[in-house]
Amino acid sequence: MSSLTRVPRASRKQSDDRRADFEQRVLRAVEELLADGTPYTEIAVQKIAVASQAARSTFYRYFPDKSQLLIRMADLATADLFAAAEQWWETEHADHESGVVAAIGAMIAGFRQHRYLLLALSEVAAYDRDVGAYWRERVATFVDMVRARLESDRERGLIHASVDPAATAIVLTSMVERSITVAFAPSSGIADDALAAALGRAIWLVVYGDAPRK
């Protein structure tokens, strides 16, 4: 006999699908509202709810406040961005900088797609405790992955023995994060491919520029 309290699998899937659809509508609505230059803090919840075709009560059932909304939207927006970076760090790339440039290019493309939301995230993280803690933890996870890869490459003799994996991981991650944020300012005039080439070359030279040659 099936449990009277257990939710059938089909019902759970329908519920998950409804939530995913709702979150995507909210993400599109928030990004469209940010696109005209309105600061995130000035966008009312009611306006987001209307733009995403959701009742205010439905909105608050998923997002208790605007900080939690921004955190969830950032999760959705950065999924592909971090996946591109992680894919590069999981492959062999010591021989040439082209692989680094390609990975950074994919990250920049992901940032370009969600630039209004991610720029708002960077701004709000500076003063909102919950958003700031979320973003620091998100970045720290990536730093740990980079550090682990650098440690592995150093043990295998692929990078110079003097490279400090922990410090270098922080430097590289901060360089990428800050460079993309600054380059996406309206007045920078830097093309995405030029930014990818410059960042990719800088990263490769830092990690492999003085690597032992066989």
Q: How many CA atoms lie within 13 A of 26 on its CB side?
A: 29
Provide the token pair at 124.
């709000």
Cβ atoms < 10 Å from Cβ of 15:
11
User: What are the Cα distances from residue 130, in Å, to 34, 68, 166?
Assistant: 20, 8, 25
As a whole number of angstroms, the distance between CA 183 and CA 197 comes to 13
What architecture is domain 1-63? Orthogonal Bundle (1.10)
Listed in order, the ranges of the chain carrying CATH 1.10.357.10 are: 71-208
pTM of the model: 0.79
pLDDT, tens digit (0-9, with 9 covering 90-100), for 158-193: 899 999 999 999 999 999 989 988 888 777 789 999
Return the CATH fold of 71-208.
Tetracycline Repressor; domain 2 (1.10.357)
pLDDT, tens digit (0-9, with 9 covering 90-100), for 23-52: 889 989 999 999 988 899 999 988 998 898
As a whole number of angstroms, the distance between CA 16 and CA 76 comes to 15
pLDDT at 94: 60
